[in-house]
């Protein structure tokens, strides 16, 4: 469920409220692979050097892939 457009609309009328609204880091915001599309293949190491791909991560019904800015932020 993607709600970016309603968020932008809400901001237009509540610009004075204490929310961060104009962070240059958020310009031209993108949310990547579309709903209904297949994710790209990937292989990536974890903190212990073990290599993971989607097959290794997923459970019987799939997976939650959480991208965050940094653990050091």
Partner 1 sequence: MELERSLEKFRTEGLGVAAISYDSPDVLRHFSERMGGFHFPLLADEGSKVIRAFGIFNHNVPEGHEFYGMPFPGTFLVDENGIVRAKYFEQMHRQRYTADSILVREFGASGGKRVRVVTDHLKLEAFPAQDVASRGNRITLALDLDLPPKMHVYAPGVEGYRPVVVEIDENPLLLAHETDFPESEKLHLEAIGETVPVYHGRVRILKDVTISPRVRDTKISIPLTFSYQACDDRVCYTPATVKFAVEVALVAHDSERAPEALQKKKGPGN
Which residues of the shown chain bind partner 1 in the complex (CB under 8 A)?
A: 1-4, 6-8, 10-11, 14, 17-21, 23-40, 42, 44-50, 52, 54, 57-73
Secondary structure class of 8 (helix, strand, coil): helix
Residue 54 in tokens: 């989607």
We find the least distance from the C-beta atom of residue 46 to partner 1, in angstroms, to be: 4
Q: How far apart are CA 63 and CA 60, in angstroms?
A: 9
Q: How far is the CB of 13 from partner 1 (least distance, A)?
A: 11
Instruction: Name residues whose C-beta falls within 8 Å of residue 41's C-beta, 6 or more positions apart in sequence.
Output: 53, 54
Shortest separation between residue 42's beta carbon and partner 1, angstroms: 5
């Amino acid at each position: 469920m993607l709600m970016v457009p309603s968020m932008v609309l809400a901001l237009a009328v509540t610009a004075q409220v204490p929310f961060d609204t104009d962070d240059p880091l958020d310009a031209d915001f993108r949310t990547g692979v579309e709903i209904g599309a297949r994710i790209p293949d990937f292989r990536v190491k974890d903190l212990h050097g073990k290599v993971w791909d989607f097959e290794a991560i997923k459970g019987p019904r799939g997976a939650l892939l959480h991208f965050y800015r940094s653990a050091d932020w």
